Structure 1
């Protein structure tokens, strides 16, 4: 669905009530690791400053869930990001990340990280475009090998994407 982003999509901090909608969006996406509903409720409740949701006509159509790394508080780790299949292709994921980075309470974030499976072209493209927007590097390294996951669970390797250093004067799309 092609939409006019400036008039139809609103971006805001999540509320605990958004956790269930995020859980449903992840379940319906087919491409994201599906976690417990509790995990999404908790992230919305305890980490609203480092999470964001996108809504159209009051309906949640996208989300970014992240937190500051305890040992690197200037690094925002994006745990998951997703956009409703009918709204993909409208830069909602990119705008969610930019809204997070432009918040006053996040002004000291200098790097953004996320782990991405090797077959996830959409996420790979998102983080590479974000680095280009900010005119900065995107360093990709091996992070979680398949052998780290429990026996019986088939899981691809997870690559770490590190975008930065970020400067708040760059990387804005409207």
Structure 2
């Protein structure tokens, strides 16, 4: 069998092994460990991840392979806006290359809890190439326009201790975004 066919079949088997679900409070510690292993992601307290998994489970997702959490996206609907904000995307090194980041985002966009979102928003530092690639790819796939502008600035908001975070916005065309998800 040709090598590229074998690799494609192996990738399909790996992809089929992953399942997505809403997190619950018992996932907090595993989510925290995953984020800690995904440098350069900003680490939150274990308690913050516990609260996200418990209170915001409808707008967060975990990817599981067997009994291990290998992916996590946290997000929430922004109060008084028709926007879904993505806080963090984390994929275990062992599960990279399977498109899990984009698949988890699509899972969230397909949920009833994000149905009213007219935009997906997130913040990214200019040097985070992986995040830029993920969100540009998502925008292309769903036919959404991606824009960005400085939002949380290094000196004004982070007292010089963190690079400027750019607010990235992907406009969601209701039907196109939902059907692509």
Fold similarity call, TM over 0.5: yes
1:93 aligns with 2:119: no
1:12 aligns with 2:21: yes
Instruction: Tell me the number of residue pairs that the alignment of Structure 1 and Structure 2 aligns.
Output: 172
1:164 aligns with 2:164: no
1:59 aligns with 2:61: no
Distance 1:108 1:29, change over 3 A: same
Higher helix share: 2
Distance 1:110 1:5, change over 3 A: farther
Distance 1:169 1:137 in 2: 12
- Secondary structure, aligned partner of 1:17: helix
1:119 aligns with 2:130: no
* TM-fit CA distance, 1:69: 0.5
Larger Rg: 2
Contact map agreement 1:109 1:166 (CA 8 A) in 2: no
How far does the alpha carbon of each residue in 1:130-159 deviate from its partner, in whole angstroms, 9 at most, with x for none?
1111111001111111113454x6311101
1:40 aligns with 2:49: yes
State the TM-score, normalizing by the size of structure 1: 0.91
The root-mean-square deviation of aligned C-alpha atoms, in Å, is 2.0
Contact map agreement 2:110 2:178 (CA 8 A) in 1: no
Distance 1:159 1:150, change over 3 A: closer
Contact map agreement 2:73 2:89 (CA 8 A) in 1: yes
* TM-fit CA distance, 1:166: 3.3
How far does the alpha carbon of each residue in 1:32-89 deviate from its partner, in whole angstroms, 9 at most, with x for none?
00110010000111111110010001210000000110020x2110111110012112
State the TM-score, normalizing by the size of structure 2: 0.87
Gaps of 5+ in 2: 1-9
* TM-fit CA distance, 1:4: 3.0
